[in-house]
Every structure is written in C-alpha cells, then in structure tokens.
C-alpha cells in the first residue's frame, strides 16, 4: 500500500526555520518526481517545489526561492523541505505528493505549519 506521511510541522516564530519530512513506503521512491504543495487556511492550492527522481533537478515557486530547499534521500525513502526565514504568509498545510501529473499521483494527508509570534 502506497503511503506518504508528512511530519515536522508546528508553530514557529516569524524569521524562524522548520524542516518538514515525508516518509514514503509501498512504492519505489527513487522512481518518481516528488512535490511539496501547500494550502493556506481557507485558501486554494499552491505548488511549492519539486525534485527529480535522482535529485539532480529542483524547481521552486518564486515566493520561496532562496528561503526553502527541497531535498530527498532515496536510501531512506524520504523527502524533505527545509524552510528558513519563515513568514506569516507561509502558514499552511503542506502536502507531500508523488507524480502529481500522472496516473500514479498520490498525496499525503499534510502537516500544518503555523508562523506566528
């Protein structure tokens, strides 16, 4: 059974840092592009970043460039999102998602990040 389980969310002060993790199981993790997608409370979906199967290519939405870093550890079937210089507008549920544009798309249940003083 495919599973994506996010962790690492919580309350952080503006300017702080947080590292999200996504533990993958039930499939060959190293064969898929992986994504982070977020959703602010009561708002729509916003794609944050993605990373190629071998980690050689990474793309980011403009609003997080220079602050967030996506990475993966294929040996540990894990996806990460290092978030620095956090702002109030980064408050959202962060979803880990596999192959979001193919028939093999799969999403985790999300982890809530709250940036507030």
Partner 1 sequence: QSVLTQPPSASGTPGQRVIISCSGSSSNIGSNTVNWYQQLPGTAPRLLIYSNNQRPSGVPDRFSGSKSGTSASLAISGLQSEDEADYYCAAWDDSLNAFVFGTGSKVTVL
- In the list 18, 24, 37, 86, the residue contacting partner 1 (rule: CB under 8 A) is 37
Query: Rule CB under 8 A: is residue 105 a binding residue for partner 1?
Result: yes
Q: Which of 3, 13 has the CB closer to partner 1?
A: 3
Contact of 71 with 80, CB cutoff 8 Å:
yes
Q: What are phi and psi of 104, to 5 degrees?
A: -100, 20
For the range 53-58, what are the long-range contacts, defined as Cβ-Cβ under 8 Å and sequence gap of 24 or more?
Answer: 54/30
Contact of 88 with 32, CB cutoff 8 Å:
no
- What track of x and - describes contact with partner 1 for positions 40 through 59 (by CB under 8 A)? ----xxxx--x--------x
Binding site for partner 1 (CB under 8 A): 35, 37, 44-47, 50, 59-62, 95, 100-103, 105, 107-110
């Amino acid at each position: 059974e495919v599973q994506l389980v996010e962790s690492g969310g919580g309350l952080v002060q503006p300017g702080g840092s947080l590292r999200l993790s996504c533990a993958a199981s039930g499939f060959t993790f190293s064969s898929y592009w992986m994504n982070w997608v977020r959703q602010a409370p009561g708002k729509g979906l916003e794609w944050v970043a993605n990373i190629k199967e071998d980690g050689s290519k990474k793309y980011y939405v403009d609003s997080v460039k220079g602050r967030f870093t996506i990475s993966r550890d294929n040996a540990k079937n894990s996806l990460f999102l290092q978030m620095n210089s956090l702002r109030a507008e980064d408050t959202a549920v962060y979803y880990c998602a596999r192959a979001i544009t193919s028939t093999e798309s799969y999403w985790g249940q999300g982890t809530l990040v709250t940036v507030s003083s």
